Structure 1
Amino acid sequence: MKIDRSQAIRQFLFSNGASSITAIAAAVGASVPTLRRDLVALEGQGVVVRTHGGARLADQFEVEVAFEQREAHALPAKRAIGDVAYDMLQPGSSIFLDSGTTVLQLARRIRLNPLPLNVFTNCLPAAQMLIDVAGVKMTLLGGQLRKENSSVVGPLAEEMLDRLWFKQLFLGAGAIADDCFLSSIDESEARLNAVMLSRAEQRVLLADSGKFGQRLTYRVASLSDMHEVVTDDAISAEWAERVETAGARLHRAGRLDEDVG
C-alpha cells in the first residue's frame, strides 16, 4: 500500500467519519478490492476499525490526524518562520519550545542542523523529534497529557516550570486579536503559556500571518509581553505597525523589520 493512499484514507475518514468502502475507494482513487486490502492492513496497524460494509478511524488516530491537519496548514509559511527562528538560537543555551505547530517547524530545523542546546518542551512530537539528535539534551515536562494537542499541561507542568529558567522561549499562538492579546482554545494551555513567559529571558512569538485578527476563548498574554515576533510576509501593514507599537521586534520570513520604537 502506498504511503500517500494510506494518508488519504486516514484524512478522508477523519473528515467524513465512518464511511462505506465504495465512498472511501472513490475518494482515494482505488478499486474496491484494493481498498479492502488497504483497510485490512490499516486495521492490523490499529489505525482503522472495519465495520459492516465500511470503516472508521480508530479512536486514538482521530487525534493524530487532527494534529497532522493543523501542522500541514500554512506549512510553507511555518517552515520559513522556523528558519528565521533557527538563526536566533545561541549554541549552548537553554530554550523552551511550546507545543504549537509553527514551533514544531523550529524543532525540525534543529534536527536537520543540530546545535548544542538544552531543550525543554511540553510538546510530545518535538521531544520525539529531538530525543536522538547529537548535542541536544532533551527534557519533557511532566503532567497531564492533553491529547488534542499532543502536549503536557496542568499543575505538575506548571510547578516544574517554576523551578526552571530559559535563555529563550519560542511560543506559538492560537490567535492574536485586534486588542493585541494572544489567546488559546484551552484553559490549561493558556495558563501554562503564561508561566512559560515568566521563566524566559527572551520571549519569541512564532505565528503565521493567518493567526492575526483572530480570537479564541482563553487569554494568554499581550504582544507587549513579547520581545520578538516572527511571522511571514503576508502580514498586513496594519498588523506590522501594531506589533512594533507594542514594543516587539518584528521579523518576517526572508527579511527583518527593525524596531521603530
Structure 2
Amino acid sequence: MAQGGSMKVGRLDAIRSHLYANGPSTIQAIAEAVGASLATIRRDLQILEDEGAIDRVHGGARIAEGSSVEVAFQERANQNLAAKRALAGACYAALKPHGSVFLDAGTTVLQLAKLMRVNPIPQRVFTNGLAVAQELLDVPKLQVVVLGGQLRSENASLVGPQAEAMLDGLWFDQLFLGASAIGEDGAIYSIDAAEASLNARMLSRSAERFVVADASKFGTMSTYKVAPLSGADTVVTDSALTPPWRRRLAELGVRPLIIDSSGDVPGDPAIEPEGEAA
C-alpha cells in the first residue's frame, strides 16, 4: 500500500512537471510522458484539479493560474539534488548544538533543513524561507522563528524593510547562505534586489558565516551584488570547483570546504597546482 501511494505521488509530481515544462497538454501526451494509462491519467488529473494545481481543458490540462511559481520552485529544488544533499550534509556536520542559526531560503539550504528534521539537535533556528519553516514544523529540540516581511513568491521567501529591521535586533552564531552566483570579482550576487539586501544584512549579523554554492555558481553573474565573498568564513561547494577558484578562495581568506558527491571532504583543495583535475 505504501509503495503504491509513493508511486502515485511520484506520478502526480511528474504530471505537474510535464505541464510546467510543456504548457497545456492533451491527456494522450501526458500519458505518454508519464508512462501511465489514459484512465489512470484522468483520475490523477481529477486529484490535481481538486487540489487546485491544474485546470482541466478540453481533452487535456494545464497548470492552474498562480501555481506555476510553486512548480518552478520545486523544479529548482530538485535540480542537482545529489550535490545539494552532499553539501547539506557538510553543513549539518558543522552545526553547533544549543546555538542560534539562520537558514536562508535557498534550495540547497532547504536540504539542510530536511536533515535537521530527520536528526534534530537543540537549536534556535531563524529563517526567511517558508519552505524551510514548513520543513521544521513541530520538530523536537528546535525553536523556529520566521522573519516577517514581504512575500517573494519566486523563492518562497520573506524580504523587505520589515525583515531587515527584525534582523537588526538579532545575532546568530551561524549563518548558512545560498548564492545565485559568485562573480569573477569575488562577490556574491542575487537575482533579486530585496533578497540581495537582506542577504547582506544576514552576513553582518552572524558570527560564523557559511556560503553554500555548488561549483556551477562560480564565475557567473547575476544582477544584484550581495557582498564580497571575503565576508564569509567558509564556502561549502563540490569537487567540480576549478583549481583557479580554489586558489582564489585561499587568497580571499575564505576556508574552502569541498565535498564530493559521496559527501567526503578531500584534502586541502586550495593548493592544488593549476591544470590538475578538480
TM-score by length of 2: 0.90
AA aligned opposite 1:186: D
1:148 counterpart residue number: 154
1:257 paired to 2:257: no
**1:7-86 equivalence runs, <5 A:** 7-86=13-92
40-49 or 251-260, which deviates more? 251-260
AA aligned opposite 2:268: D
Q: Deviations over 1:24-48 (max 9, x none)?
A: 2221122323322221121112111
Superposed CA RMSD: 1.5
1:135 equivalent among 135, 138, 141: 141
1:92 counterpart residue number: 98
1:212 paired to 2:218: yes
State how far apart, in whole Å, the 1-side matches of 2:237 and 2:250 are: 13
1:198 counterpart residue number: 204
State how far apart, in whole Å, the 2-side matches of 1:232 and 1:154 are: 31
Task: Measure how far apart 1:137 and its partner are.
Answer: 0.3
1:185 equivalent among 191, 195, 198: 191
Percentage of identical aligned residues? 53
Task: Measure how far apart 1:61 and its partner are.
Answer: 2.5
State how far apart, in whole Å, the 1-side matches of 2:119 and 2:44 are: 36
AA aligned opposite 2:114: R
The 4+ residue runs of structure 1 with deviation greater than 4 A are: none
2:236 counterpart residue number: 230
AA aligned opposite 2:255: R
Asked if the contact 1:249/1:258 (under 8 Å) is kept, the reply is no
State how far apart, in whole Å, the 2-side matches of 1:200 and 1:139 are: 16
State how far apart, in whole Å, the 1-side matches of 2:39 and 2:136 are: 40
State how far apart, in whole Å, the 1-side matches of 2:269 and 2:51 are: 51
Unaligned runs of 5+ in 2: 1-6, 272-278
Q: Deviations over 1:88-132 (max 9, x none)?
A: 111111010011111111111111111100000000111111121
Asked if the contact 2:258/2:269 (under 8 Å) is kept, the reply is no
Task: Measure how far apart 1:258 and its partner are.
Answer: 7.7
State how far apart, in whole Å, the 2-side matches of 1:115 and 1:170 are: 16
State how far apart, in whole Å, the 2-side matches of 1:149 and 1:227 are: 25
State how far apart, in whole Å, the 1-side matches of 2:29 and 2:18 are: 10
State how far apart, in whole Å, the 1-side matches of 2:250 and 2:68 are: 40
Task: Measure how far apart 1:67 and its partner are.
Answer: 1.0
After superposition, the Cα gap between the structure-2 partners of 1:123 and 1:80, relative to the gap in structure 1 and judged at 3 Å, is same
AA aligned opposite 1:94: S
State how far apart, in whole Å, the 2-side matches of 1:230 and 1:117 are: 21
28-37 or 176-185, which deviates more? 28-37
1:4 counterpart residue number: 10
AA aligned opposite 1:220: V
| Secondary structure at the counterpart of residue 120 of structure 1 | strand
137-146 or 25-34, which deviates more? 25-34
| Secondary structure at the counterpart of residue 62 of structure 2 | strand
Asked if the contact 1:249/1:257 (under 8 Å) is kept, the reply is no
| Secondary structure at the counterpart of residue 55 of structure 1 | strand
52-61 or 97-106, which deviates more? 52-61
1:120 paired to 2:121: no
TM-score by length of 1: 0.96
AA aligned opposite 2:17: Q
AA aligned opposite 1:192: L
